[in-house]
Amino acid sequence: MNLTQLRYFVRVAEMGSFSKAAIELDVAQPALSRQVRLLETDLRVNLLQRTGRGVLLTEPGKRLYEHAVGILQLVARAREDLGANRDEATGRIVVGLPPSMGRMLTLPLVDAFRRDMPRARLAIVEGLSTHINEWIATGRVDLGLIHNPDANPAIETMPVLDEPLCLVGAARGGRAEASRRAAPIAFAELCSVPLVVPEHTHAIRKLLETQAALAGLKLNIAYEVSSVQAILELVRHGHGHAVLARSAVLASGQPAAFRVQPLAEAALTSRLCMAVSAHKPATPLVRRAMRLLRELVVANVERPRGHNKLR
């Protein structure tokens, strides 16, 4: 097994075709096929299933693909770290953002990278916190923001922001109602209204169900929708209420369309954390990106909330 074989295998797996991968890699297709076959022979498994339309990963192929991506990223980071000045942020970094944070932070993050780290290359991926957690553990993502992370020995997390959860409904009275401060609502009251909630793996769903179980209550779930943006659309059109942080409403782009009511229970708080791999040394680029990302969260999420842009 060598790095060339792993690189060829990963590209074939991603393209789903030997011919497309050969064009992308600028190598002859017979040479590409030979290297992948040597890899299969060395490992004594079939990695790819040939079909009439291309290739599919076998179960051993899927496992090797996860390892190979991480290995190739580690090699790239090692080269960048050794080739760069000690304190110079160079190379490529992949940042994972939850959808609500992505809408608020993508533009300022790209602008800041262009201004402060012109020699660095930035890639941004969006996903639920559970997915970003997994991507960091497997090496696909270098740095991420995640909500309420579970304990994971492969991930190192640092708290960035605590946000109280709120009951979000449609502002039927227009902007005047949206701007008026609403009285806190008790959790027992919250359980009496129809809720639009994310899937079971979502951090806020876990918080809600844990609190309901502790209080001996049952949530009134009207709809279960994975996307926070889709949840807000349903709420805006009167199909129920949501329990979200204020930043999610701000990120919708139309906060005046919603009425935000704080929850009386202070324990219902969503914690935003910065996450990196626990097993990889932080490069100068990762360290600079961590400082920058924290500053952007404070400027674009925490300060607007503190200045009562949304009540």
- Say yes or no: 172 and 231 in one domain: yes
Torsion over CA of 290, 293, 295 and 301, rounded to 10 degrees?
Answer: -140
Choosing from 50, 79, 108, the residue where a domain stops is 79
- Say yes or no: 206 and 292 in one domain: no
Q: Is residue 112 part of a domain?
A: yes
Contact of 242 with 195, CB cutoff 8 Å: yes
According to the model, what pLDDT value does residue 48 have? 93
According to the model, what pLDDT value does residue 59 have? 94
- Say yes or no: 166 and 263 in one domain: yes
- Say yes or no: 178 and 113 in one domain: no
Res 143 pLDDT > 50: yes
- Say yes or no: 173 and 266 in one domain: yes
CATH number, domain with residue 10: 1.10.10.10
- Say yes or no: 206 and 291 in one domain: no
Q: Is residue 167 part of a domain?
A: yes
Q: How many residues does the chain have?
A: 311
Report the share of the chain in percent with pLDDT over 70.
90
The single-letter code of the amino acid at 269 is T
Sequence-distant (6+) residues with CB within 8 A of 217 are 187, 188, 191
Give the three-state DSSP class for 134.
helix
- Say yes or no: 166 and 153 in one domain: no
Q: In total, how many domains does the chain have?
A: 3
Span 54-111, pLDDT tens digits: 899 999 999 999 999 989 988 877 776 665 555 667 788 999 998 888 888 999 999 9
Span 5-60, pLDDT tens digits: 999 999 999 999 999 999 888 899 999 999 999 999 999 999 999 888 889 999 99
Query: If pLDDT is split at 50, 70 and 90, which confidence band does 210 have?
Result: confident
- Say yes or no: 33 and 73 in one domain: yes
Q: Is residue 261 part of a domain?
A: yes
Q: Is residue 16 part of a domain?
A: yes
Query: If pLDDT is split at 50, 70 and 90, which confidence band does 295 have?
Result: very high
- Say yes or no: 253 and 278 in one domain: no
Segments forming the whole domain that contains residue 190: 162-270
How far, in Å, are 154, 163, 194, 261 from residue 241 at the CA level?
36, 18, 6, 11
Average pLDDT for the chain: 85
- Say yes or no: 98 and 154 in one domain: yes
Span 243-272, pLDDT tens digits: 988 888 888 888 888 988 888 765 688 889
Closest CA to 207 of 248, 166, 239: 166
- Say yes or no: 52 and 199 in one domain: no
How far, in Å, are 120, 188, 239 from residue 96 at the CA level?
16, 35, 31
Q: Is residue 311 part of a domain?
A: no
- Say yes or no: 27 and 119 in one domain: no
CATH number, domain with residue 143: 3.40.190.10
